[in-house]
Structure 1
Amino acid sequence: MLFVVAGLLRAINTKFLAPATAWFQNKFLPKLENFYERTLQYSLRGKRPTWFFAGTFGLLFVSILLFMAFPPKVLFFPETPPKQVYVYLEYPIGTDIEVTNKLSIDVENKIQNHLKKYEVDGKNVLITSVIGQVGEGTSDPNRGQDGGTTPNKARVTVDFVKFIERGDIDTEEVLIEIRELLKDIPGVDIIVDRPADGPPAGAPINIEVSGDDYEQLLATAEDIKQFI
């Protein structure tokens, strides 16, 4: 078998590769070198080097202008449909945990009732679970992590089925539906968002207040929140 392969390779080399190499070295390459030489002689004659140099920069400038005027529609990091939806609930500091827990249960029920439209033969084909969590570990990561317990905060997590099992259902639209469903609940801050992919990042707009007087800082921060 080895001798057959060696003979076949030798035949291919003799019949095709050797003639192709000879043609490239003896015909194509000399013509290419002659063309390159004539081009250099033409470009370096008289004032042409200056014009070619200026033309190169002009072409670069025009390319930048065209890129700014007609930016390509390229999305380097496209967002995929969310695998989960997080609902962050936040009452004012000092709220009893039972009050927060009751709201969390109410929100769970609202979401489950709203998503019943995706049930087929008594089984929901879109979601696998709707789970509420109250207290520690429920803060919105875009607002920074809170140390210790947070009885005034809760998080409801909606888990969707795998992408391949969703059919034509767009979970991004479902996220918007949940946001509209919960927007009118009074007395509580509600954020409906998707899990953050990649490294932790701050909110799109972040306002920080610094100073030595802690009480004044709290009052100023509250005034800014009310103003916004």
Structure 2
Amino acid sequence: FIMVLFGFFNKGVEFFPNTEPSQITVTIEMPSGTSLDVTNSLSRVVEERLRTIPGRKDVEYVASSIGTSNNPFDIGGQGTTNKGSVAINFYEKIKREQSTFETLEEVRKTTVGLAGGELRVAKQQMGPPVGSPVSIEISGEDYPQLVALSTMMRGKIKEVPGLVDLKDDYNAGRPEVQVVIDREKAGLFYTSTGQIASTVRAAIAGVEASKYRVGEDEYKIRVRLQEDQRVAMEDLENLHITFMNRRGQLLSIPLTSVATISRSTAVTDIKRKDQKRVVTITGEVEGRVASEVLNDVRGRLANIDIPAGYSVKFTGSQEEQQKAADFLSNAFVITMLLVFLIMVSEFNSLKVPFVIMLSVLLSLIGVLFGLLVTRTPFSVMMTGVGIVSLGGIVVRNGIVLLDFVKHKHREGGMKLDDALLEAGRIRLRPVLLTATATVLGVLPMATGIDFDWREFHFVIGAESAGFWRPLAVAIIFGLTISTFLTLVVVPTVYSLLDEWEGRLKTRFARTFGKKEL
């Protein structure tokens, strides 16, 4: 019944708990080839807008970094002049006037619509980096087709509630001006492609004319057009090529006489995975559980037509979440199997280990009930670890109870019903003390109670409470409910199994006896 209720009313599944961030980062990405000064000017605009948000009182300081990796948490990323980041760091949680989730929305609203570059607002994640909550890999061979599929898919899912900062990693390319030389026309004027290229290069990038030495220091002297003569495409069109004709005369003609000048873009990088070209769509989740948003995304993309030779795969944190879930499930099964085998060897019976393992299932009921009551999402990592650790505690309580029953019933000659009642009376105190001590030990993690050793006082609502809360809830409710159910269900099931065992022995004995006669 509890499992059915959990299936209908649960708060969803998440990889790591969604905690209030202590840092928010605005990443800036300008078109490839953008100068450092232009990128820096956009970051200044972002900083100015951050001063206007209501949550600015909770901000301890803002730090900007220009020419850094696009990933705000990638320490060793390669720097580029068209990328930067603005990091917003908050005071401790107890000193804040509002939730940083609200500030996150304020930052997102105040930076939206800034022209000149692509901005993305992200909160700092607890736990290891696992990628975006929504990450879709589109793979194939034709790059324009991948871009078209990415555009179509982003259009279908952009309205999903809770999905923000939707983008793909397709790089539109670096803006450039192409000079295509007409070799036939160049030949008519007795000039070569090398001479034309050298003239253009000298005008724009400059050419080393000489060197200037001051003591032991040497400086290169580079000659090129003035800055105001090399900023527009018209400046390049007005450039003249000097050449010598057959008569030895120096002549000058416009560059447009022997070349065509046009604007274009150059692809700076193409990503591949398993020898196939890949475009990845990523998105963040705010206000909802990632699993719910991901289910909505899957639903909207379920009926799209994918051309032959192309594939769509959900990766990112979803892929890592599935790996973690499989690992914890295998670990739980293997752990319980080893515990079962050890108990079989100790009790020399299958009945007692079976009854004790039943208490583990009872603890799972408590875990699900606790998540429902506290409206806590099922965290694959933290709740999963709580269930694995809970299994060992619950098994110990069952062993304490049934070991006493076995000692009184088999070795002391006491009737089974009397032994079960005596075990409940005698072992009640140590079982409750063990459960109470464990519950009290993890209660601060569930309630957020912490002790500040610097200022020597208790803190309500600690920074790390949201991260450890799913683990604490799993242990508290799982252990509490399983403890009381163990004291009732385990003796009852043990008594029933013993009664059935006795009936089977009697029936086999009668059948065997008749054959003897």
TM-score category, normalised to shorter length: 0.5 to 0.7
Q: What residue is the counterpart of 1:96 in the other structure?
A: 35
Instruction: Give the TM-score taking structure 2 as reference length.
Output: 0.26
Q: What residue is the counterpart of 2:64 in the other structure?
A: 132
Is the alpha carbon distance of 1:222 and 1:70 closer, same or farther for their aligned partners in structure 2, counting shifts above 3 Å? closer
Separation of aligned partners in 1, 2:63 and 2:91: 14
Q: Secondary structure at the match of 1:102?
A: helix
1:196 aligns with one of 112, 116, 125: 125
Q: What residue is the counterpart of 2:94 in the other structure?
A: 164
Question: Whose radius of gyration is greater, 1 or 2?
Answer: 2
Is the alpha carbon distance of 1:207 and 1:146 closer, same or farther for their aligned partners in structure 2, counting shifts above 3 Å? farther
Is the alpha carbon distance of 1:192 and 1:211 closer, same or farther for their aligned partners in structure 2, counting shifts above 3 Å? same
- Give the deviation of 1:209 after TM superposition: 4.2
Q: Between the two proteins, what is the percent identity of the paired residues?
A: 31
Separation of aligned partners in 2, 1:206 and 1:73: 18
Give the letter aligned to residue 90 of structure 2. Answer: F
Q: State whether residues 65 and 86 of structure 2, in contact with CA within 8 Å, keep that contact through their aligned partners in structure 1.
A: yes
1:108 aligns with one of 34, 38, 47: 47
Separation of aligned partners in 1, 2:85 and 2:124: 12
Q: State whether residues 178 and 192 of structure 1, in contact with CA within 8 Å, keep that contact through their aligned partners in structure 2.
A: yes
Separation of aligned partners in 2, 1:66 and 1:80: 25
Q: Secondary structure at the match of 1:206?
A: strand
Q: What residue is the counterpart of 1:47 in the other structure?
A: none
- Output one character per residue of 1:160-182: Cα deviation in whole Å (capped at 9) or x when no partner: 1111211x322110110110011
Q: What residue is the counterpart of 1:33 in the other structure?
A: none
Is the alpha carbon distance of 1:131 and 1:140 closer, same or farther for their aligned partners in structure 2, counting shifts above 3 Å? closer
Q: State whether residues 20 and 100 of structure 2, in contact with CA within 8 Å, keep that contact through their aligned partners in structure 1.
A: yes
Give the letter aligned to residue 126 of structure 1. Answer: D
Q: State whether residues 108 and 131 of structure 1, in contact with CA within 8 Å, keep that contact through their aligned partners in structure 2.
A: no
Q: What residue is the counterpart of 2:105 in the other structure?
A: 176
Q: State whether residues 138 and 150 of structure 2, in contact with CA within 8 Å, keep that contact through their aligned partners in structure 1.
A: no
Q: Secondary structure at the match of 1:101?
A: helix
Q: What residue is the counterpart of 1:81 in the other structure?
A: 20
Give the letter aligned to residue 120 of structure 2. Answer: I
Q: Secondary structure at the match of 1:130?
A: strand
Separation of aligned partners in 2, 1:220 and 1:98: 35
Separation of aligned partners in 2, 1:204 and 1:72: 16
Query: How many residues in Structure 1 have an aligned counterpart in Structure 2?
Result: 153
Instruction: Give the TM-score taking structure 1 as reference length.
Output: 0.55
Separation of aligned partners in 2, 1:138 and 1:81: 23
Separation of aligned partners in 2, 1:177 and 1:135: 25
Please, which runs of 5 or more residues in structure 1 have no aligned partner?
1-61, 119-123
Q: What residue is the counterpart of 1:223 in the other structure?
A: 148
The runs of at least 4 aligned residues of structure 1 exceeding 6 Å deviation read 72-76
Q: Secondary structure at the match of 2:28?
A: strand
- Give the deviation of 1:87 after TM superposition: 0.5
- Output one character per residue of 1:146-169: Cα deviation in whole Å (capped at 9) or x when no partner: 953222211101111111211x32
Is the alpha carbon distance of 1:211 and 1:182 closer, same or farther for their aligned partners in structure 2, counting shifts above 3 Å? same
- Give the deviation of 1:77 after TM superposition: 5.5
Give the letter aligned to residue 93 of structure 2. Answer: F
- Give the deviation of 1:125 after TM superposition: 4.0
Separation of aligned partners in 2, 1:76 and 1:138: 24
Give the letter aligned to residue 189 of structure 1. Answer: E
Separation of aligned partners in 2, 1:76 and 1:158: 25
Separation of aligned partners in 2, 1:138 and 1:193: 12
Q: What residue is the counterpart of 1:155 in the other structure?
A: 85
- Give the deviation of 1:67 after TM superposition: 3.7
Is the alpha carbon distance of 1:181 and 1:159 closer, same or farther for their aligned partners in structure 2, counting shifts above 3 Å? same
Q: Which has the larger strand fraction?
A: 2
Q: State whether residues 90 and 154 of structure 1, in contact with CA within 8 Å, keep that contact through their aligned partners in structure 2.
A: yes
- Give the deviation of 1:110 after TM superposition: 1.2
- Output one character per residue of 1:83-132: Cα deviation in whole Å (capped at 9) or x when no partner: 111101112222222211110111111112x14x56xxxxx742121111
Is the alpha carbon distance of 1:192 and 1:71 closer, same or farther for their aligned partners in structure 2, counting shifts above 3 Å? closer
Separation of aligned partners in 2, 1:150 and 1:75: 34
Is the alpha carbon distance of 1:80 and 1:202 closer, same or farther for their aligned partners in structure 2, counting shifts above 3 Å? closer
Q: Secondary structure at the match of 1:100?
A: helix
Q: State whether residues 19 and 126 of structure 2, in contact with CA within 8 Å, keep that contact through their aligned partners in structure 1.
A: no
Is the alpha carbon distance of 1:77 and 1:226 closer, same or farther for their aligned partners in structure 2, counting shifts above 3 Å? closer
Separation of aligned partners in 2, 1:63 and 1:150: 54
Q: State whether residues 68 and 85 of structure 2, in contact with CA within 8 Å, keep that contact through their aligned partners in structure 1.
A: no
